[in-house]
């Protein structure tokens, strides 16, 4: 997290930082408050702006789904929130976790949060446990690191009850990881994360590598999390159904930005952003006979399109879209979207709300 | 628990059953290689030194006048009974040569292994953990030099520095002449015999003689070890379970030591097992350089004399050593890595 890396060039028409919707200026009940977070990777081609001025809030026990196409920065955001980025990444902005800003925090203090304050569940359960260590040793090591006063018996007791909660019988406590199936290993990983009772967990596509039945089981477990442990959850997934089933809120990400965020039922029931609508339409449902897909591909994050990142693919793009960055607008209580369709009208110059045609896009890009 | 130890036993039995065909293939190779050389071995070794009649008698005694298949059968019998006949040149039982000199070679190779691990593991770990830093570059350079430098050259430098200039250590033989005469032979391992006889000074003398050859041979292996440990550690440090351990807030020293380093050693055990050939080859050269009375230097002597019977016996023992070590390595892997046992 070296902050001395090359800054990505600031877009000229960037709105001032405080022009964000007032609704996100929350009180101290927040567990996590992210403001204008930017994360970029230094590469030979220039900075990859994987997270571009993201703001969001999470209350204790709340489950937030994070969706969006591949490569739009979901994993980067999730890892950034935990201070677990690779050395090539640089960050800027503010991540206030339990009142302390993680950005600029010393590596030692950051490490002391890993485990007891927050944890991460990964996509690949098969390779996340040390093959040379018994399941019991994983738990003993984890508990001993953070609670050195715990006796062996107490640690064992804690571990077994966490495992039992995930449906792993105590008889398997001293087994090695390779003796378990993928689904069981993911449940062990979840138990290993929850045994420290963290306040916040990021789960990055925790079921992508698993089959459908196991997936349903894991989703149920994650949905139970906030009820039984008061653990806040950021659930990254491509599966909107999982979000609908297990999350309170959802954030839709496109090209490094959160384009829409709100209550799951509100967002899925009345999507405000064209990208969310396209995303929902591309989900297979029994009602559709053919597969809808969004034309084009997400942009290159080294050189993203100006203005609204989605305008080259947006069926409703207007002349203002490539010219100016859309600002967050509260479309309903606790439901925000960044799209010029929702104004604010005061920022759209006269005549700029005309439809953008294919030809006009090229011209606007030139401008 | 019972199931696990059961599968371990089954694994070991399977592995043991493989030893017989492996030894068979290797000794057959040795036999064939020894016959590829043109002419008959006895005249090669003794031609011009004995009368034709005496030569024929020796040839007959060694069995070289029999058909190849019969010779092969007798050779296999020799291997099984560990009786490799008489040397052609000095007419000693080959077994006696092996027993008299084997202890010195065993001492040297074991001491070299200790040096190799004592040098290679910490340096490889350091280089892998602090990749691309000045210590890493220095350690890699050291590893390449010790691996690439010819054994006699490295040995010569050590002899010059520690033997001649500093005059700290002896550079030749396994012990001083008095010690060699005084220590009663029991195990044929001089170091052990000195200890068993309670001759503390003799023990120290043998140890002092051992240092330079052991370091020479040990550094050769340490070069391989450094590279192996470093590469594997870099890989395991990037692995998913290491990242997951960090996400649980495990201390970095534990992440490196308990997770990354231990996992990095699993392939190292296997690859080091394959280096037994390098170890034996290096032992031959080291024994030559330091006039170390092991079977390696005997092998060189008999090769120069074209004593095929002796050479065949010694090489057979080397081949068996390779098989036995590979078995041991597999056992070690099974103990270290739970996945191997299934
Ligand atoms: N270590 C890295 N170095 C350089 N670029 C990276 C690195 N990691 C990710 N990126 C780039 O950052 C962007 C966002 O990647 P990220 O993995 O966060 O996306 P994602 O939304 O999680 O995608 P997916 O759904 O495929 O997991 C991508 O363009 C990716 O190529
Ligand atoms: S801002 Fe314009 S281009 Fe972007 S999503 Fe809204 S309408 Fe489409
Ligand atoms: Mg991802």
pLDDT of residue B240: 93
More confident residue, B136 or A355: B136
- For residue A271, being part of any structural domain is answered with yes
Sheet hosting strand A100-101, strand order edge to edge: A46-58, A32-43, A89-97, A100-101
CATH code given to domain B102-270+279-292: 1.10.3720
pLDDT of residue A91: 92
pLDDT of residue A363: 43
A40-49, A63-72, B145-154: segment of lowest average pLDDT: B145-154
For B4, name the nearest residue in chain A, comparing CA atoms only. A175
Same domain assignment for residues A47 and A158: no
Indicate the pLDDT class of residue A104, thresholds 50, 70 and 90.
Answer: confident
More confident residue, A67 or A29: A67
Tokens representing B199?
Answer: 């001759």
Establish whether residue A318 lines the binding site of ligand 2, counting it when its CB lies within 6 angstroms of any ligand atom.
yes
pLDDT of residue A13: 44
Please, what is the angle between helix A182-194 and helix A135-146, to 10°?
20
pLDDT by residue (tens digit) across A286-344? 555 666 777 778 888 888 898 899 988 888 888 888 888 999 989 888 899 999 988 78
**Cβ–Cβ < 8 Å for B293, B174:** yes
How many other CB atoms are found less than 10 A from the CB of residue A269?
Answer: 9
**Domain-ending residue, one of A188, A216, A233:** A188
Same domain assignment for residues A19 and A160: no
Same domain assignment for residues A150 and A263: no
B342: contact with A, CB 8 A cutoff: yes
Same domain assignment for residues A19 and A87: yes
Quote the distance between the C-alpha of residue B8 and its chain's center.
27
Indicate the pLDDT class of residue A63, thresholds 50, 70 and 90.
Answer: very high
CA of A158 to the centre of ligand 3 (A): 31
Same domain assignment for residues A174 and A278: no
Please, what is the angle between helix B94-129 and helix B295-304, to 10°?
120
In angstroms, the CA B27 to CA A99 distance is: 73
Tokens representing A203?
Answer: 């789960």
Has residue A27 got a pLDDT over 50? no
- For residue A123, being part of any structural domain is answered with no
Tokens representing B284?
Answer: 């031959």
Whole-structure pTM value: 0.82
Tokens representing A69?
Answer: 């196409």
Q: Which residues of chain B have pLDDT under 50?
A: 1-3
Indicate the pLDDT class of residue A28, thresholds 50, 70 and 90.
Answer: very low
Contact partners, residue B301, CB within 8 Å, separation at least 6: none
Task: Chain A: give the shortest CA distance to residue B228, in Å.
Answer: 19
**Domain-ending residue, one of A168, A188, A208:** A188
Greatest alpha-carbon span in chain A: 73
- For residue A75, being part of any structural domain is answered with yes
ipTM of the complex: 0.83
In angstroms, the CA B3 to CA B290 distance is: 51
Same domain assignment for residues A175 and A274: no
Same domain assignment for residues A160 and A27: no
Residue whose CA lies nearest to ligand 2 atom number 3: A311
Q: Phi then psi for A72, rounded to 5 degrees?
A: -90, 0
- For residue A127, being part of any structural domain is answered with no
Task: Please report residues of B whose CB lies closer than 8 A to that of A130.
Answer: 241, 245, 258-259, 263
Q: What is the mean pLDDT of residues A190-216?
A: 86
Establish whether residue A339 lines the binding site of ligand 2, counting it when its CB lies within 6 angstroms of any ligand atom.
yes
pLDDT by residue (tens digit) across B195-219? 888 888 888 888 999 999 999 999 9
* CATH code of the domain containing A244: 3.40.50.300
Half-sphere exposure of B119 (CA within 13 A, CB side): 25
Same domain assignment for residues A72 and A98: yes
Contact B337 A141 (CB under 8 A): no
Has residue A9 got a pLDDT over 60? no
Closest atom of ligand 2 to A340 CA is: 1
B251: contact with A, CB 8 A cutoff: yes
Same domain assignment for residues A352 and A293: yes
Report which DSSP code applies to B293. Answer: -
Q: What is the domain range of residue A171? A: 132-188
Contact B339 A178 (CB under 8 A): yes
Domain segments of chain B as ranges: 1-82+305-342, 102-270+279-292
Task: Please report residues of A whose CB lies closer than 8 A to that of B339.
Answer: 131, 176, 178
**Ligand 1 pocket test target in A76, A242, A259 with most atoms within 8 Å of CB:** A76
**Number of domains chain A contains:** 2
Q: Phi then psi for B202, rounded to 5 degrees?
A: -65, -40
**Domain-ending residue, one of A188, A210, A232:** A188
Same domain assignment for residues A167 and A142: yes
In angstroms, the CA A261 to CA B48 distance is: 100
Sheet hosting strand A118-121, strand order edge to edge: A118-121, A200-204, A232-236, A63-67, A249-254, A257-263, A335-338, A328-332
User: Which residues are close to ligand 3, an ion, with C-beta < 5 A?
Assistant: A 75
Has residue A49 got a pLDDT over 90? yes
Same domain assignment for residues A170 and A264: no
Contact B263 A141 (CB under 8 A): no
Same domain assignment for residues A309 and A210: yes
- For residue A92, being part of any structural domain is answered with yes
Q: Phi then psi for A4, rounded to 5 degrees?
A: -90, 10
Residue appearing with tokens 């000045």: B134
Task: Please report residues of A whose CB lies closer than 8 A to that of B251.
Answer: 111, 145
- For residue A124, being part of any structural domain is answered with no
- For residue A181, being part of any structural domain is answered with yes
- For residue A63, being part of any structural domain is answered with yes
Q: Element (H or E) spanning A33, and its range? A: strand A32-43
How many other CB atoms are found less than 10 A from the CB of residue A345?
Answer: 8
CA of A192 to the centre of ligand 2 (A): 43
């Amino acid at each position: 997290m070296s902050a001395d890396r090359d800054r990505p060039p600031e877009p000229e028409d960037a709105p001032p930082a405080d022009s964000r919707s007032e609704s996100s200026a929350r009180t101290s009940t927040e567990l996590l408050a992210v403001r204008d977070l930017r994360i970029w990777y230094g590469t030979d081609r220039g900075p990859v702006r994987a997270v571009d001025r993201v703001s969001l809030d999470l209350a204790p026990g709340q489950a937030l789904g994070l969706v969006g196409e591949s490569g739009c920065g979901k994993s980067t955001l999730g890892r950034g929130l935990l201070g677990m980025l690779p050395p090539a990444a640089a960050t800027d902005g503010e991540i206030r976790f339990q009142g302390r800003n993680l950005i600029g925090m010393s590596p030692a203090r950051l490490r002391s949060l890993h485990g007891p304050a927050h944890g991460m569940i990964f996509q690949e359960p098969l390779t996340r446990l040390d093959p040379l260590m018994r399941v019991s040793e994983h738990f003993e090591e984890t508990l001993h690191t953070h609670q050195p006063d715990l006796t062996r018996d107490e640690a064992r007791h804690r571990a077994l009850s966490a495992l039992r909660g995930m449906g792993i019988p105590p008889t398997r406590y001293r087994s090695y990881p390779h003796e378990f199936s993928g689904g069981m290993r993911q449940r062990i990983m979840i138990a290993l994360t929850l045994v420290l009772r963290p306040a916040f967990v990021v789960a990055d596509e925790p079921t992508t590598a698993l089959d459908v039945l196991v997936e349903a089981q894991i989703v149920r477990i994650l949905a139970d999390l906030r009820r039984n442990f008061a653990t806040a959850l950021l659930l990254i997934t491509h599966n909107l159904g999982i979000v609908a089933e297990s999350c309170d809120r959802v954030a839709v990400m496109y090209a490094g930005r959160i384009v829409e965020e709100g209550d799951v039922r509100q967002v899925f029931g009345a999507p405000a952003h064209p990208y969310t609508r396209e995303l929902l339409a591309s989900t297979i449902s029994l009602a559709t006979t053919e597969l809808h897909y969004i034309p084009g591909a997400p942009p290159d994050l080294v050189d993203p399109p100006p203005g609204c990142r989605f305008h080259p693919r947006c069926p409703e793009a207007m002349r203002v879209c490539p010219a100016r960055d859309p600002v967050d607008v509260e479309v309903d209580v606790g439901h925000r979207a960044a799209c010029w369709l929702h104004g604010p009208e005061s920022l759209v110059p006269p005549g700029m709300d005309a439809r953008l045609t294919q030809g006009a896009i090229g011209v606007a890009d030139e401008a | 628990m019972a199931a696990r130890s059961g599968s371990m036993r089954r694994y070991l039995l399977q592995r043991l059953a493989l030893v017989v065909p492996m030894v068979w293939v290797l000794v057959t190779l040795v036999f064939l290689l020894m016959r590829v050389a043109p002419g008959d071995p006895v005249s090669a070794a003794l031609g011009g030194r004995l009368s034709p009649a005496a030569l024929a008698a020796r040839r007959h005694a060694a069995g070289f006048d029999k058909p190849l298949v019969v010779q092969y059968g007798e050779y296999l019998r020799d291997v099984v009974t560990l009786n490799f006949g008489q040397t052609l040149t000095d007419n000693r039982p080959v077994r006696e040569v092996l027993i008299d000199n084997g202890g010195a070679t065993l001492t040297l190779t074991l001491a070299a292994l200790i040096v190799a691990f004592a040098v290679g593991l910490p340096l490889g770990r350091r280089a892998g953990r602090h990749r691309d830093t000045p210590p890493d570059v220095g350690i890699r350079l050291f590893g390449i030099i010790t691996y690439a430098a010819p054994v006699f050259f490295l040995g010569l430098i050590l002899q010059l520095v520690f033997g001649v200039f500093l005059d700290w250590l002896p550079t030749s033989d396994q012990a001083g002449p008095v010690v060699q005469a005084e220590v009663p032979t029991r195990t044929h391992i001089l170091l052990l015999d000195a200890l068993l006889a309670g001759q503390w000074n003799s023990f120290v003398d043998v140890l002092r003689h051992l240092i330079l050859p052991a370091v020479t041979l040990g550094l050769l292996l340490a070069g391989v070890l450094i590279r192996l440990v470093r590469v594997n550690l870099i890989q395991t440090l990037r692995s998913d379970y290491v990242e997951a351990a960090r996400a649980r807030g495990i201390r970095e020293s534990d992440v490196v030591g308990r997770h990354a380093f231990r996992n990095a050693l699993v392939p190292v055990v296997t690859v080091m097992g394959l280096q037994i050939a390098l170890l034996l080859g290096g032992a031959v050269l080291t024994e030559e350089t330091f006039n170390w009375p092991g079977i390696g230097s005997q092998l060189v002597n008999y090769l120069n004399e074209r004593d095929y019977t002796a050479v065949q016996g010694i090489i057979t023992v080397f081949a068996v050593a390779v098989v036995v070590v590979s078995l041991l390595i597999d056992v070690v892997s099974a103990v270290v890595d739970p996945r191997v046992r299934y």
